[in-house]
Structure 1
Amino acid sequence: MAAPTVVKDVLNPALYNNDDIEVQFYQQRKEWPWTRGGVHALAWVLFAGGLVLIFGLLNLRDILLDRRRLGYTLANNNKHRVLSSQRSLFDRMSLHFRAFCYLRSSLTGLATTSLGLGILILAGFLYPLLYVFSQHPYYEREPRFGPPPLAGRSGMMALAMTPFIILLGMKANLISMVTGMGHEKLNVLHRWLGFVCGFFSLVHSVPYIIEPLKNGGWGKLTELFNGNVTYWNGVGALVCMFWLTFGSLNFIRHASFPRAWCYEAFVHLHIILGVGYVGLMFWHCANVLTSWHYLYATCVVWVLHLLYRFIWRTNWFGPRLFSGDQAHFTPLTDDGVKITVPTRMRWQAGQHIFIRIPSISLLDNHPFTVASIMSNDAKDCGYNDLVLVFKPHKGFTRRVFDISRTRPDVSYRAYLDGPYGGLSRKLEAFETVLMVAGGSGITPIVAHLQHLASKIHKGEALTRDIRIIWTVKRFQSLEWFKDEISAAARGLPRNMLLCQYYVTEETAIELPKGPVSATREWPQSPITPTFRQPPQAFLRPPGTSEAEKEFQLQIVEKDVGSSSDDELHEFPFPAARSVTPIPPMGDEVLLEFGRPPLRDGLPPWSETFGRRTCIYVCGPQSMKVDVANAVADMQSDIWACEEREEIYLHSETFGW
C-alpha cells in the first residue's frame, strides 16, 4: 500500500488553511509564491554586502598604496624620490569624489553627516523602498489566498537588516576591520539603518490592518487579533523597535535634565529593549521561511562581540585576576583633568578606550581618547602610561574632577575596554600633515605628533612638514600639553613643525620682555578688563643656545574688538601686514587671539603643501564643517597642479 502524499505548506499554517485546494492551486501558479519570500531578505544582504565590499577594496587600495610609496622611497634612501605621479582614471575620479563627498552643511542636525555619507544613507533607504513598492501586487485577490505581498517583501527586508544594525553598533566589528572606519563613525549608519528598519517594519504591519478593515471592518480586525497571538507579539516587537529608533534621537538621549541620568537610562534601556525585540521576533516569525537565519546571525554577532570584548579587550588580568589597573588623577589648569593608568594594554596613536571605575560609578563606561603613545622599551610585555585628558561635564567626569581637586593622591581600580578606532592610514606616508584641534580635541593630535616624531627620528617617515592649529578658550588650556609638544619638537629637524594657537576668550595682552618658550609659563589673563591695549604686532627673534632647542613664541596680535570679515578672510596672520601670508616652517609657536578662519584661510595655505597631504581635524562640529568644506575646495587645486597628488581628510568623531 502506497504511503499518502504529504503536501508541503504553501502558506504560514498558523494563519492560513493549507488544506484549501484553491489556495494551493493559487500559490503554485504564482510567479512569486509565499514560499519564495526568503529571496526578498537575500536582496538586502547582497546590496549591503556589496557596499561593504566596495569600501573594503577602496580601503585596501589606500593601505597598499601608502605602504608601497613608503617602502619604495625609504628603500632608495631618498625622501624626495617617490613613485611616478602619473594619474590614472581612478585617481582623477577620486578627486571629484572627494570634492563632492567631503562637503558638509552647517545646519544644525546635518553637520555630523557629510554629503557623501548622506548619499550613502539615502541609497540605503531608496533601494529597499523601490524594491518593496515597485513590485505588484500589494494585496492578494482574497485574504484567504495568502498574506499581502507588500507586507511579505517589507517584513523580510526589515528582518534582513537586523544583523547589520547590530554589527554597525558594535565597538569591535567586521565592517570596521574591512572598511577601516571606526565604530564611532559606523554608529551614524547604525542609527539611520535602525530608522529604515523601523519604517519597513511599519510598512509590514499596516497591510495586516488595512486588509481586514476592507473585508469585514473593525469586527474582522478584532477577531483576528483575539484569535491569534502572532499579531500581539508582532505589536510588541514593533513597540520595541519604535523606542529603539526614536528613543535614540539626540533630544531624548541628551535631555537637559537630568542629562547624565537620561543618557545612562537610554543606554541600559536600549540594551534591554534590543534583547526584547530579538526575543519577540523569534516568537513572531516562528521559524517560517528563512526568518530565523537572520535572527541567529544577530545573536551570533552580538554574543561573539561581547565575548571578544570581555576576554581580549578588557584588562581583567592585572597583577591579580579581575584586579584591573590603578588610575591616578591629576588636576590641570582651566578645569582640566588627567587620568594616568599604568597598563599592559597595547594601543596606537589616536585610538580611544572606555574606562570603568566601579568605586566611582559601577555602571558608567565612558570613552576617552588616549593622549599618549607606547614607549619603545615596553611595547612587548611591559607597562605603559595610558594618559587621558578631558574637561568635566556632568556625571562621571564631574565626579572625577571633584576627586582630582580634593584627593589627588588617591588611586582607583579601573577597567579599560579597548582600544578602538584610530586612523586606518599611515600619517608617516604623507609629506605634509596638518592637524586642527579645538579644546580637548588636541588629545589624539598629541599622540599622533609623538608617533610621527618617533618615526621621523628612526628615518621611517616621508613627512617633512607638520602643522598644528589649536583653538582654546583660555591661556590655561595651553598648559595641558606644552611639555609633550615641546619634547616632540626638540626631536624633530629644524623647520619641520609649526604650531599655531588661537585663544578665543582672552583679551590680547603684552608678553614679558625676552623670549617665552613653550616649556615655560604661558601668559596670564589681565586682571581687569581695563588692561591697556598692546602695541603693534611684532615678532620675537629666534633665541640662542638652549632656547633654540625649544619652541620660540612669536606673537601676532590684533586690535581688541576688531573682528571684521576682511580680517577673518586673511590667513594665517590677519593683523600682521608686514609678515608674509605663509609662515616660515620652523619649530615656532605662533599665538593669535580670536577664531581661526579655517573655511577661507586653509585653501590659500594649501599652496605650500607637499605632494600628498593628510588633514586631521578633531573638535566641535562647526570646526569640522569648516575644515571639511575647505578640503573639498582644495581638490580642484590638485586637479590643476601636477605637483600634488592627494589631500586626504580624517575627521575624528565624538559625542556619539
Structure 2
Amino acid sequence: MGMLPFLDQPVLLHSSRDAGECTMTPEQCAYKQRYWVYWYEADHRYALPTVAFFMVAIGLFIIAHVTSLLTPQSTKKRSIWFRPVAFLRYLSYKTWRIAGWHTQSLGVCLLGAAGLVYFLSMMLGPRPYYWPNTMEISYGGSPPIATRSGFLALACMPFLIILAAKSNPITALTGISHEKLFVWHNWVAWAMFVLALAHTFPFIVYNIWMGDIKEEWNSSGVWVTGVVALIAQAWLTFMSIPWIRNRYYEFFKATHFFMAMVFVIFLFIHCDFRMSSWDYFIATGVLYSLSWFYSQCKTWFEHGIRHKARLVPESDETLKVTIDTAMEWGPGQHVFLRFVTCGMHALTAHPFTICSVPQKDKESNQLVFYIKPHGGITGRLMAMARKNPDVLIPVLIDGPYGGISVGKMEEFDRSIVIGGGAGAGLTLSMIEDFVCASSFADEEKELKVIVATRDPGMRAWYLQALEDLVTRQSLEKPVPGLSIHIHETCATTVVPELKTKELEEAGVKVQDVHSNECSTSSESLPADLFAVQCFTGRPNLPAAIYQMASQEGKSVGVVVCGPASMTYDVSAASAEVQSRIIAKKPGNARELWLHRENFS
C-alpha cells in the first residue's frame, strides 16, 4: 500500500463538496457559510483567483511582447512609440545600491509589491481568523485563516515550479529568457513559504487550545506529511538565499532537486484530494514534464552525445573551452554544459555564455567559451587543462537559451558592448556578429566595445582571439565604426572615456583624471583592423553610455556582461537616458535598449 494509508479511502480525484445538513441555528449556519469563509468552496474563493492573478500578470507581458513584434519599424521611430517604451524601460533598468547590495529593478519591485498586496489582502482581509468555537459549539476544526492560506499557497505551486524550467511556456509566450524569470521563482517561493507557515501555525494554536495536539499527531498522517513538506520547503527556500546559494553552489545544486521531490510528494499526500487540490499537482506535472522533456530531447536527439570539449588554459585566470558542432545559435546566447567525465559534476549542467557566432555556409561551427575558474566544476576543469592541455572530454549540450535575437543589434545606429572579467568573452561574439553584419550593411553603423579585467594575462589571449576572428572572416582592412578599449583594472584610476569639456556639453559631470595608456604593438593585426586601445584603470561606463546616447535622433543598443557593480552602473546610466527621452531633452538619442547577460 506504500503511502496510501495516509490517504482517505477510497482515493478519489476530488473530495465531496456536500457539507451535509447544518444542525446549528440559522444565524450560526449563515455565519459558517459566508462567501469568504465557507470551507467547501475555499479552493474556488482563494486558489482560482490566485491563478487568475498570475495569469493576468503574464498576459500583460505577452501583450507587450506581441505588440513589439507586430509594430512596424516606421512607427517605432515616432514619439508616440518610443516615449511610452522609454517609460517601461526606465522601470526595467532603474535599480538602487544600498550598502553594497543592488536591488531589483523598479518594475520588478512594483510587480512584487502588487503580489504582496494581493496575498496580504486575501489572507488577512476576510474575518474571522479563527472560528468562535466553544466546548459546546464547533464551527469546524480548520481555522479560516489556515484554510485560505493553504489554498493560496497551493495555487502558487504550478507557477513556482514552471518558473524554474529552462524551456517553459512563460518564456515562449513573453520572450523573457528563463534566467530573467528566476527572480520570480525565488519570490514566489518565499510567498508560498510564508503562506505555508500561516497555514500551519493556526492549527497548532487551535489544537493546543483543544488539548488534543498529541492525539492528532499520532492518529493522523496529515500532520506528519505536512511537517515533512514544510521542512523540505524551508530547506529549499533558505538555501536559495543568494549569498548561501553562491557560496555552496555545488552542494545547493546537488540537494535542490531531491528536496523539491520530497516537498512535492509529501505535499501531494498532505492535500489528500481535498476539493480540487490535486488538480494543481496535475497542472504542475504536465507543464514541468513537457518543459523537461523538451530540453532533454534537444540535448539527446538534436545535439546528440558526440560532442567533445577541448580545454586550454589561456591564462592563470581564464580557461578556454571549444566544442565543434553543427548547431546554430545567436550572439549572446548561453548553453548548459554537462561534462560527462567530471565525477559527481556529471549529474548537473552549468550555464556558460557562448563567445563565438556560427559561420555562414559552413557545415561545422565552433562553440567557444572563456571561463573564469572558481570552485566546483570550473576549478576541476581548469585543473584538468593544466595537467593535460588540449584534453578532450565528452560533453552534453542543452540550449541555446536567452541572448539577443538575430538581427536585433542591426536595428540600432550605435551600439556599445561592455564586458567585465569572464564577461569579456561575450564581447567577442558581439564583435564577430558586427563584422559579419557590416559587410552587408547599406549604411555605416558604430560599435564601441569596452572590456575591463583584473587578469594580467587577459590582453594576450583576447588579442589572439581577435586575430583568430580576423582569420575566420578573412579581413584585410579596418572594420568601419568599430573600436575596442581594453582596461586593465589593476590600477584604481578611473579612465575618462571623453574629455571633460565634451562631457560637460553633454550635461555629464565627471572628475577629470588621467591614466597611462598601455602600449600595443603597431604591428598587431587586431589593433590595426579593430582600432584596439589599451588603458590602465577602470572605465567610466556612465560617461561612455551618455556619450553614445548624445546624438539626437539616433538609436542606441547597450549590452553588458560582468560583475554586479558593473551591471548596476550600466543600468543606472541607461535608466537616466530613458528619463531624458521621456522628458524630450534636446541632444539625446531617440531610444536606448539594454541587454544584461547574467552568465559568463
Provide TM-score, normalisation by structure 2: 0.83
1:37 aligns with 2:42: yes
Q: Distance in 1 between matches of 2:185 and 2:292?
A: 17
1:62 aligns with 2:64: no
CA 1:113–1:600 in 2, change beyond 3 Å: closer, same or farther?
Answer: same
CA 1:109–1:210 in 2, change beyond 3 Å: closer, same or farther?
Answer: farther
Within a 5 Å distance, the mapping from 1:502-541 to structure 2 comes to 502-505=487-490
Q: Distance in 2 between matches of 1:492 and 1:643?
A: 32
Residue matched to 2:481: 496
Q: Which moved more, 1:623-632 or 1:111-120?
A: 111-120
Within a 5 Å distance, the mapping from 1:297-336 to structure 2 comes to 297-314=283-300, 318=304, 323-336=305-318
Work out whether residues 334 and 477 of structure 1, in 8 Å CA contact, stay in contact via their aligned partners in 2. Answer: no
Work out whether residues 328 and 358 of structure 2, in 8 Å CA contact, stay in contact via their aligned partners in 1. Answer: yes
Q: CA deviation at 1:254?
A: 3.3
Report Cα offsets for 1:87-118 as digits up to 9, x if no partner: 11x54333334334422222367426222222
CA 1:342–1:648 in 2, change beyond 3 Å: closer, same or farther?
Answer: same
Q: CA deviation at 1:298?
A: 1.2
1:640 aligns with 2:585: yes
Q: Distance in 1 between matches of 2:513 and 2:405?
A: 30
SS of the counterpart of 1:37? helix
Report the AA paired with residue 278 of structure 1.
Answer: V
Work out whether residues 358 and 414 of structure 1, in 8 Å CA contact, stay in contact via their aligned partners in 2. Answer: yes
1:190 aligns with 2:190: no
1:372 aligns with 2:372: no
Match of 1:622 among 565, 568, 571: 565
1:224 aligns with 2:226: no
CA 1:650–1:410 in 2, change beyond 3 Å: closer, same or farther?
Answer: closer
Residue matched to 2:112: 121
Q: Distance in 2 between matches of 1:409 and 1:575?
A: 37
CA 1:235–1:199 in 2, change beyond 3 Å: closer, same or farther?
Answer: same
Report the AA paired with residue 26 of structure 1.
Answer: C
Within a 5 Å distance, the mapping from 1:446-465 to structure 2 comes to 446-459=428-441, 464-465=445-446
Work out whether residues 343 and 385 of structure 1, in 8 Å CA contact, stay in contact via their aligned partners in 2. Answer: yes
Report Cα offsets for 1:136-175 as digits up to 9, x if no partner: 2222233832322211221111101001011111111111
CA 1:335–1:213 in 2, change beyond 3 Å: closer, same or farther?
Answer: closer
Q: CA deviation at 1:643?
A: 6.6
Residue matched to 1:363: 347
Q: CA deviation at 1:493?
A: 7.0
Residue matched to 2:126: 135
Q: Distance in 1 between matches of 2:115 and 2:477?
A: 46
Report the AA paired with residue 60 of structure 1.
Answer: V
Residue matched to 2:261: 275
SS of the counterpart of 1:211? helix
Q: CA deviation at 1:591?
A: 2.0
SS of the counterpart of 2:87? helix
Match of 2:510 among 562, 569, 591: 569
CA 1:29–1:620 in 2, change beyond 3 Å: closer, same or farther?
Answer: closer
SS of the counterpart of 1:419? strand
Q: Distance in 2 between matches of 1:109 and 1:199?
A: 27
Q: Distance in 2 between matches of 1:640 and 1:275?
A: 54
Residue matched to 1:548: none
Q: CA deviation at 1:479?
A: 2.6
Residue matched to 1:477: 458
Q: CA deviation at 1:436?
A: 1.0
Q: Displaced runs of 4+ in structure 1, greater than 6 A?
A: 11-14, 571-576
CA 1:484–1:556 in 2, change beyond 3 Å: closer, same or farther?
Answer: farther
Report Cα offsets for 1:192-239 as digits up to 9, x if no partner: 11011100111111221222334x3xx222233233221221111111
Work out whether residues 310 and 322 of structure 2, in 8 Å CA contact, stay in contact via their aligned partners in 1. Answer: yes
Q: CA deviation at 1:26?
A: 2.2
Q: Distance in 1 between matches of 2:462 and 2:115?
A: 42
Residue matched to 2:596: 651
Report the AA paired with residue 95 of structure 2.
Answer: R
Q: Distance in 1 between matches of 2:295 and 2:515?
A: 49
Query: Percent of aligned pairs with the same residue?
Result: 29
CA 1:104–1:98 in 2, change beyond 3 Å: closer, same or farther?
Answer: same
Work out whether residues 430 and 613 of structure 1, in 8 Å CA contact, stay in contact via their aligned partners in 2. Answer: yes
Match of 1:199 among 174, 194, 199: 194
Q: Distance in 2 between matches of 1:136 and 1:254?
A: 42
Q: Distance in 2 between matches of 1:646 and 1:280?
A: 51
Within a 5 Å distance, the mapping from 1:393-432 to structure 2 comes to 393-424=374-405, 426-432=408-414
Report Cα offsets for 1:275-325 as digits up to 9, x if no partner: 11111121111111111111111111222222112112346764xxxx431
Residue matched to 2:58: 52
Q: Distance in 2 between matches of 1:299 and 1:647?
A: 40
CA 1:369–1:101 in 2, change beyond 3 Å: closer, same or farther?
Answer: closer
Q: Distance in 2 between matches of 1:84 and 1:347?
A: 27
Work out whether residues 572 and 601 of structure 1, in 8 Å CA contact, stay in contact via their aligned partners in 2. Answer: no
Residue matched to 2:250: 264
Count of matched residue positions in the alignment of Structure 1 and Structure 2:
550
SS of the counterpart of 1:458? coil
Work out whether residues 250 and 376 of structure 2, in 8 Å CA contact, stay in contact via their aligned partners in 1. Answer: no
SS of the counterpart of 2:452? strand
CA 1:151–1:594 in 2, change beyond 3 Å: closer, same or farther?
Answer: same
Q: CA deviation at 1:439?
A: 1.5
Q: Distance in 2 between matches of 1:23 and 1:455?
A: 80
Report the AA paired with residue 340 of structure 2.
Answer: P
Match of 1:592 among 526, 535, 544: 535
Q: Distance in 2 between matches of 1:343 and 1:390?
A: 19
Q: Distance in 1 between matches of 2:276 and 2:476?
A: 60
Which consecutive unaligned segments of at least 5 residues does structure 1 have?
1-8, 70-81, 256-261, 509-536, 538-554, 558-566, 577-585
Q: Distance in 2 between matches of 1:108 and 1:324?
A: 48
Q: Which moved more, 1:441-450 or 1:604-613?
A: 604-613
SS of the counterpart of 1:139? coil
SS of the counterpart of 2:332? coil
CA 1:377–1:333 in 2, change beyond 3 Å: closer, same or farther?
Answer: same
CA 1:291–1:110 in 2, change beyond 3 Å: closer, same or farther?
Answer: farther
CA 1:422–1:497 in 2, change beyond 3 Å: closer, same or farther?
Answer: same
Q: Distance in 1 between matches of 2:199 and 2:264?
A: 17
Residue matched to 2:549: 606
Work out whether residues 550 and 587 of structure 2, in 8 Å CA contact, stay in contact via their aligned partners in 1. Answer: no
Q: CA deviation at 1:568?
A: 9.8
Aligned CA-pair RMSD: 3.4
Larger Rg: 1
